[in-house]
Amino acid sequence: MAGCTAIALKYVRYRFHTGRESRAIFSIRSLLSWALVCLLAACSPGESNVDRGNREGILHYGNGTEPQGLDPHVVTGVPEHHIIVALFEGLATKNPYTLEPEPGVAQRWEISEDGRVYTFYLNPQARWSNGDPVLASDVVWSWQRALSPVMGNQYAYMLFPVLNAEAYATGKLEDFGEVGIEEIDERTLRVTLNAPTPYFLQLLDHYSTFPVHRATIEKYGSATDRFTPWTRVENIVGNGPFVLTEWKLNRRLRVEKSPTYWDRDRVRLNGVVYYPTENATSEERMFRANQLHVTQTIPLGKIPVYREMPDSPFVNAPYLGSYFYRLNTTVAPLDDARVRRALALAIDREKLNATVMHNVNVPAYSITPPDTLGYFPPKLLGYDVDQAQRLLAEAGYPDGAGWPGLELLYNTNEDHRKVAVALQQMWKTALNIDITLTNQEWKVYLDSVSQMNYQMARAGWIGDYVDANSFLDMFVCGGGNNHTGYCDPAYDELILRRAPQANSRQERYALFFEAESMLMEQVPLIPLYTYTSKKLVHPSVRGLPSNLMDALNLKYVWLEPEAEAPE
């Protein structure tokens, strides 16, 4: 190293021998001393984030991406959810173990006999972080903001079960007074729904239904302005268990325990630091270097390694999402249901999952994930090569003869590629047909799918709430997320009219089962697997159970410093 430096200095001096050497050497020297200082500093043993976090009660959380923002009525993503539930709180929250509703801003609630009217009694202790009480009028004002047609809230539909909410949000109704939310007194609210909606309380844990602080928002702009700085560290006022203390773009976001939160005695963490970790491989390395307590995900290839560890930090749990291929039923050869069925039957999902997916997902045979709050979907599309060959022959392509070719579209992603390449070969082997693969960049892919400019396309769907309806209403005629050309009035009748009017859970689930059987009979989609959450969790982290919604409730989380990571 020293020799190298000497040579470097010599050459620099030679190069600038015409009276410029002093400056050149100065800069080179400062560069070298800079490097040396950094090296020395790096070699001194530093305390890792995890160790320091355990000592201070601060959770270091890999959060996927930089949040778009923190305005609950503007943002659309999951990373934003993880932060907003720390800073704000809805009328009800979720128990992370059971997903049952728990008191939030509302201390308790009453549901009318017909299931259409909810009365919420607000907690007198509920406060904003500036000390103001959280009142019924705050909630009414916030819901009006969330539904406002000029706001452009992409999750406004979360409130559509509320009477007239949809009409107001789409501009068909001018008067918010006709929407089914009403302030009875300072701390009592009455919400009227269109129909009994068994999952309504779940929606109150979604950020688009959260109350926001009116005075703060109006201080920095109009109620529906998306561009105001009210969510900045120095301005933001929330009502959640934590308050925002630092927000450095693409670097980290820090929250600390709120002194005004009504349930502060149960909050055990002193704070959370969120890191934008959009690259799963980098995130895994940060975890290995003890810079994170929790990761969002784990690269597929690393799973076998982590599985074999004693006291493995790898956590794998069912998740309310389905991975499937959409089939465009309006173009040949997929306009023939026999071809669609043949494709679905020729896939060995067990083998796919056991090999390229490292047994990390659950093979799926229908669109709704099994055991969605006690609902079990029909299983109609098992692996059956003989039947697949027969169907294909009936459709006019015996042993692939005369097959016109088929293009499978997926968005650019390593895991999607793996699935597609494996399936391409399965179809070739079972049916002797050629499938070409095409990957497109995300937005191009979205454009192709929504224009139905594809034949077969990879798709994923995450339920907005734990109920089969969140999956099944995707395929009604002309549904905004249908994109398959599937349209069956009998199906719509079941989903849109009969299921919402059902009197009991059994009756409702029976109707769902009937509808889903009809759907899978027609195969406008090929289900492949049910998602799972896959993450790394340091052993010192407690009270962070996996659940179907991957719902985060930071009140339950604490750190147990004694527990050491396995080396």
Q: Are 555 and 267 in contact (CB under 8 A)?
A: yes
Question: Are β-strands 362-363 and 406-411 bridged in parallel, bridged antiparallel, or unpaired?
Answer: unpaired
Number of residues that bind another protein (CB under 8 A): 94
Residues between 61 and 90 with contacts to another protein, criterion CB under 8 A? 66, 68-69, 71, 74-76
Of the candidate spans 34-42, 203-211, 370-378, 527-535, the one that interacts with another protein by CB under 8 A turns out to be 34-42
**Least distance from C-beta 35 to another protein, angstroms?**
7
Contact 363, 350 (CB under 8 A): yes
In the complex, the smallest distance separating the C-beta of residue 109 from another protein, rounded to whole angstroms, is 28
Backbone φ and ψ of 11, nearest 5°: -70, -35
Question: Looking at the chain, how many residues does it have?
Answer: 567
Pairing of strands 406-411, 435-440: parallel
Which residue pairs from 495-499 have beta carbons closer than 8 angstroms and sit at least 24 positions apart in sequence? Answer: 495/469, 499/469
| Contact flag: residue 286 with another protein (CB under 8 A) | yes
Cβ atoms 163, 195 nearer than 8 A: no
Least distance to another protein, CB of residue 358, Å: 9
> Which residues, including other chains, have CB under 8 Å from residue 218's CB and lie 6 or more apart?
none
> Closer to another protein at the Cβ: 51 or 263?
51
Separation of alpha carbons 197 and 3, rounded Å = 77
Which segment (43-51, 87-95, 112-120, 362-370) binds another protein by CB under 8 A? 43-51
Residue given tokens 């070699």 in the structure block: 43
Among 51, 115, 117, 157, binds another protein (CB under 8 A): 157
What is the closest distance, in whole angstroms, from the C-beta atom of residue 15 to another protein in the complex?
Answer: 5
Residue 566 interacting with another protein (CB under 8 A) = no
Residue 307 CA to residue 464 CA, distance in Å, equals 30
Q: Which of 392, 420, 457, 520 binds another protein (CB under 8 A)?
A: 420
Is 249 a binding residue for another protein by CB under 8 A? The answer is: yes
Should residue 279 be labelled a site residue for another protein when binding is judged by CB under 8 A?
yes
Q: How many CA atoms lie within 13 A of 315 on its CB side?
A: 20
C-alpha to C-alpha distance for 53 and 39, rounded to whole angstroms = 25
Q: Which of 115, 133, 149, 500 binds another protein (CB under 8 A)?
A: 149
The residue (of 125 and 450) whose beta carbon lies closer to another protein is: 450
- If one asks whether residue 17 binds another protein (CB under 8 A), the answer comes out as yes
Q: Looking at 78, 356, 362, 380, which residue binds another protein (CB under 8 A)?
A: 356
Q: Which is nearer to another protein, 50 or 105 (CB)?
A: 50
Q: How far is the CB of 539 from another protein (least distance, A)?
A: 19
Candidates 190, 254, 390, 418: give the one binding another protein (CB under 8 A).
418
Tokens standing for residue 70: 């923190």
d(CA 240, CA 51): 26
With CB under 8 A as the contact rule, the residue among 441, 521, 560, 564 that binds another protein is 441
* Complete edge-to-edge strand list for the sheet that includes strand 252-257: 58-62, 271-275, 252-257, 242-248
Return the range that interacts with another protein (CB under 8 A); candidates 111-119, 308-316, 367-375, 445-453: 445-453
The answer to whether residue 254 forms part of the interface with another protein (CB under 8 A) is no
The answer to the question of residue 534 lying near another protein (CB under 8 A) is: no
Burial zone of 441 (CB within 10 Å; 0-12 exposed, 13-18 middle, 19+ buried)? exposed
429/383 Cα distance (integer angstroms): 14
Exactly one of 20, 219, 248, 497 binds another protein (CB under 8 A); that residue is 248
- Structure token pair of residue 391: 């169907």
Distance between CA atoms of residues 70 and 244, nearest Å? 10
* Residues numbered 448-507 forming contacts with another protein, rule: CB under 8 A: 448, 450, 460-461, 480-481
Find, among 56, 137, 89, the residue nearest to 263 by Cα. 89
Of 101-140, which residues contact another protein (CB under 8 A)? none
Among 25, 132, 440, 498, binds another protein (CB under 8 A): 440
> Quick check: 171 binds another protein (CB under 8 A)?
yes
Q: What distance in Å separates the CA atoms of residue 151 and residue 140, rounded to the nearest whole number?
A: 16
> Can you tell me which of 88, 242, 274, 275 binds another protein, judged by CB under 8 A?
275
Based on the shown chain and the rule CB under 8 A, indicate whether residue 251 belongs to the binding site for another protein.
Answer: yes
Please tell me whether residue 23 binds another protein under the rule CB under 8 A.
Answer: no
With CB under 8 A as the contact rule, the residue among 8, 393, 487, 502 that binds another protein is 8
Asked if 201 interacts with another protein (CB under 8 A), we say: no
C-alpha span between 453 and 438 (Å, rounded):
13
Smallest separation, CB 11 to another protein (Å) = 6
Encoded tokens for 442: 């995300």
Touching another protein, residues 302-331 (CB under 8 A): 302, 304-305
Beta partners for residue 275, in sequence order? 62
Kindly tell me which of 74 and 269 has the beta carbon lying closer to another protein: 74
Per-position DSSP letters for 99-136, written without gaps between them: --EEESSEEEEEE-TTS-EEEEEE-TT-B-TTSPBP-H
Answer for which of 6, 11, 33, 266 binds another protein (CB under 8 A) is 11
Can you tell me which of 25, 28, 331, 565 binds another protein, judged by CB under 8 A? Answer: 28
Output the smallest distance, CB 394 to another protein, in A.
27
Distance CA 495, CA 417 (A): 34
Quote the least distance from Cβ 546 to another protein, whole Å: 22
Q: Which of 130, 387, 424, 432 binds another protein (CB under 8 A)?
A: 424
Out of 52, 108, 285, 505, which residue is the one contacting another protein (CB under 8 A)?
A: 285
Q: Interface with another protein by CB under 8 A: which range of 104-112, 175-183, 196-204, 438-446?
A: 438-446
Q: Write a three-state SS string for 31-81.
A: HHHHHHHHHHHHHCCCCCHHHHHHHHCEEEEECCCCCCCCCCCCCCCHHHH
In the complex with another protein, the residue whose CB is nearer, 266 or 288, is 288
Give the whole-angstrom CA distance, residue 541 versus residue 547: 16
